[in-house]
Amino acid sequence: MSGKLLIVDGNSILNRAFYAFKGSAMLSTSEGIPTNAVYGFLNILNKYIEEENPDYIGVAFDLKAKTFRHLMSEEYKATRKGMPHELAKQLPIAKDVLKAMKIAILEKEGLEADDIIGIYSRIAEEKDMAVSILTGDRDALQLVSDRTTVIIPSSSKGKTETNRYDPGMVREKFGVEPVALIDVKALMGDQSDNIRGVPGIGEKTAIQLIQEYGTIENLYEHLDDIPKERIRTLLREGRESAFLSKKLATIIREDEGLSELEPLKRQEMDREALYRLFLELEFNSLIRRMGLEQPARQEAAETVSYPIAEVTSEEELRKIVSQLNRKKELALYAMIEQTGRIGGVMTAICMGWEEQLYFVRTGERIGEPELAKLLSPIFMNRELKLICHDVKPLYTWLLSYGMDLECELFDPMIAEYLLDAQAGSYSLDRLAQRHLNLAPDLPEAFRGTAKQRFSDLSREELLCASGKVTSLLKPIYERQSEKLDNSEMHFLYHDVELPLALVLGSMEYYGFRVDKDALEEYGGMLERRIKSLEQTIYMLACEEFNINSPRQLGVILFEKLGLKAVKKTKTGYSTDAEVLESLADKHEIIPCILEYRQLTKLKSTYAEGLIKVIHPVTGRIHSNFNQTVTATGRISSTEPNLQNIPVRTELGREIRKVFIPEEGYVLVDADYSQIELRVLAHITGDETLKTAFRDGVDIHTLTASQVFKVPMDQVTPDMRRSAKAVNFGIVYGISDFSLAKDINVSRKEAARYIEGYLNTYPRVKQYMEDTVRNGQEKGYVETLFHRIRHIPELKSSNFAVRSFGKRVAMNTPIQGSAADIIKIAMVRVWRELKKRKLKSRLILQVHDELLVETWEDELDEVKDIVRVGMEEAVALSVPLTVDISVGRNWYEAK
């Protein structure tokens, strides 16, 4: 039996980092510590080991967040000053820890086991950490060695494998025999969450128990049989055990059984494990810095990879298609690039199911249009389920060849988004990692992130990599299906998100026509006004400077012109609109700067930004609609973002005049009226709100009337404005702090408004409380259609983080349900337009608004389709009303 010392933290990330660094010294920290701090420690410690103690023996030790913060406190503030980089800030602390280690190590000539083991406790003593470890935190010090004690954390019930410590696993994995088990939280006097519901087993009694039951497994099995009375005794002992634990840490010093140092020698860093870990955690810059990009190939043995054959003639392909077409399910991976061509370019495609995969490269033998046509029987086969990761580009590609897609679909990317909307990345290799624990070695083009194109790769590379990824589809599909089937998201997935991918694909395909000349003229007009404003500003400042630089502007305003700085940012003076507005009457330069800001924003982001993305062939803007980005279920739009085209100011709104329909078409714009507040009324069941919406009462005036306790007809515009802001705040779940900023009152005043609101609508208040509690219990909240959002922040010990979690918990069901509803409406409208074979098409969604480019002859029909599609998307206890307007450009149609 080896004499390994292992300190296991409940924090799975760091556990795994420890394994990756096995043999290296490791300083792990708890939640709340910046990852680069962890990295910094690792780096420094490793360096130290390499340079000064090559034979240093692996020690992991664990600094609790509180201790860490303590170390970060006063005494270090001074040293941190002036250090340029985050990492540098951590240096003094790391050095200090090192110093402690050095003392421990170098005090004696040679290295001896008890020194190594003792380091931890010495540091703990020197830094007053023992207290923190034993009583100051809910986690605990956990040691494993052959003669010492296994402390099983209460997170042994945890879901992740790294957290699941049971005696058998300890024995197998660490080669040590556990002699006792201690529930850590019970030690801390926390009875809420103990091993299998048994409160606090003190170490001493635990040993007795094990002796009684022979083995730990046996004890586990009979935990429920232990009499309640005895459990109470154990609980009392729990506190004593805490002090025992401290002894445990020192007992080892005298343990001669640890003289065998060989197994503790430093080993090579496990670069692959580290690579996989960093990949999963998206520590991309760390991967780069540590040069982990090309981990040694490791996956070959365990990667599912089916045989693959290349298809090189149309005739052959036709045969294979008819053969594949008889299958129930088919995995397909399309190597499509978004290029200048609308619909993208398909370099190759790979498809098949388990026993055999087929690879087709487009080119002279089989052209893209021919390929689209040849594959069509599969795409139109409603009896077949196509497993396709990211189906949207495949659909736009098909549209560009006049083809359609009507088979059943399964898209792992979308499935994963529903399972975890905050996962960040949904590329296939990440899915393989999450579901299959595989780290396939793939060219960058297959990993979604890189600039590399499929067409940059050789035939062999494409064949090999696409075979790998296509093989992944089936097992991923099976695992995701199981998870989805166990959830309530079936409807959302099959009837909303999957068809929506096609809707978005067609929206991207059609794009939005733009009058380029008008846009250029608009830009020119802005340019002229900016130039003249610029001169005025230089004159008023008596010097030329870069107005776009908040830094330079800050110097001019607050140093040269002597204006009073109201607010600061991390790097200097704040010059945001809020600050400038408060200074508006202090100096005539201020209004000029505000106007300059507005004009340059319009010019650079909108005028120039939009011109850049007009497609030279279609003359239209083909925005990219992303379905898997937002945590709430909303869609996002990029390159350009068409969901934030100005509307509030007249000058900004003018831009909408350049968004025009095709010849013979008009724009139909339909937007939900107050959809979030209606969702709120429905979810909370508040009668006042429901009646108001049924009667078509102005909701902000109503709120004002009720909160300020005046009759409806005596509500002043000011009162209405405040009420509107409060409604706004409720919908978006903003804090009293942000509300105060929005309506320019004190934070206390804002808090009173919110309180007044909640007292006016007790059902809303009840809902808010219920949702938060529910979220805390389950760890997630859900929308009307069971879209879930995990909110780990609710469990944070940090007030600000927890408050954020609460607001998110209150807001997400509202915003998310509204997102669900408009998505349902989009699918309905799109399907109806398609079914009736109309020329009109859905081209844009802006959260509560749909835009249909409408063939003039179809105007009445389209208005009807849109109204019904949206208003009847879902039956709530309040009506959903839609305002529709028609125009020859977007400006007119709003």
Partner DNA sequence: GTGGTAGA
Partner DNA sequence: TCTACCAC
Binding site for DNA (CB under 7 A): 285, 546, 548-552, 569-571, 574-580, 594, 597-598, 600-601, 604-605, 608-609, 612, 626, 629-632, 634, 636-641, 643-649, 652, 732-735, 738, 804, 807-808, 811, 815, 846-849
Q: How far is the CB of 636 from DNA (least distance, A)?
A: 3
In whole angstroms, how close is the CB of 279 to DNA at the nearest point?
17
Of 317 and 642, nearer to DNA (C-beta) is: 642
Q: Which residue, 468 or 787, is less far from DNA as judged by CB?
A: 787
Cis peptide leading into 640, omega within 30 of 0? Answer: yes
User: Smallest gap, in angstroms, from Cβ of residue 856 to DNA?
Assistant: 26
246 or 847, CB closer to DNA? 847
**Closer residue to DNA, CB minimum distance, 536 or 803:** 803
**Cα–Cα separations (whole angstroms), residue 730 to 715, 765, 773, 814:** 20, 10, 18, 9
DSSP class of 295: P
Question: What whole-number distance in Å separates Cα of residue 630 and Cα of residue 685?
Answer: 27
CA dist., res. 57 & res. 43, Å (int): 16
CB of 727 to DNA, least distance (A): 13
How open is the CA angle 252-258-263, to the nearest 5 degrees? 130
The region that residue 779 occupies, defined by phi over 0 for left and psi between -120 and 50 for alpha, beta otherwise, is left
> In the numeric block, which tokens belong to residue 43?
């780096």
∠ CA 600-603-608, rounded to 5°: 140
Least CB distance to DNA at residue 548 (A): 4
* CB-based contact 874:868 (threshold 8 Å): no
User: Minimal distance in Å, beta carbon 841 to DNA?
Assistant: 21
Pick 490 or 612: Cβ nearer DNA: 612
- Cβ proximity to DNA: between 312 and 636 the closer is 636
SS3 label, residue 697? coil
The residue (of 9 and 782) whose beta carbon lies closer to DNA is 782
- Residue 346's closest CA among 375, 371, 365, 364? 371
CB of 737 to DNA, least distance (A): 8
- Report which DSSP code applies to 81: T
- HSE of 542 in the Cβ direction (CA atoms, 13 Å)? 4
Torsion of CA 344, 347, 352, 354, to 10 degrees: -110
Min dist CB 811 to DNA, Å, is 5
Q: How far apart are CA 345 and CA 341, in angstroms?
A: 7
Residue 314: CB atoms within 10 A of its CB come to 16
Shortest distance, position 547 Cβ to DNA, whole Å: 8
For the bound state, the minimum distance from the C-beta of residue 648 to DNA, rounded and expressed in Å, comes to: 3
> Which residue, 331 or 599, is less far from DNA as judged by CB?
599
- Helix, strand, coil percentages (3-state) for the chain, rounded to 5, are 55, 10, 35
Cβ proximity to DNA, 580 vs 707, nearer residue? 580
Name the residue nearer to DNA (CB basis): 360 or 635: 635
Closest separation between CB of residue 346 and DNA, Å?
24
Distance CA 127, CA 96 (A): 10
Contact between residue 676 and residue 867 where contact means Cβ atoms under 8 Å apart: no
∠ CA 60-53-12, nearest 5°, is: 20
Rank residues 479 and 597 by Cβ distance to DNA and give the closer one.
597
Q: Kindly report whether the peptide bond that precedes residue 717 is cis, defined as omega within 30 degrees of 0.
A: no
SS3 186: helix
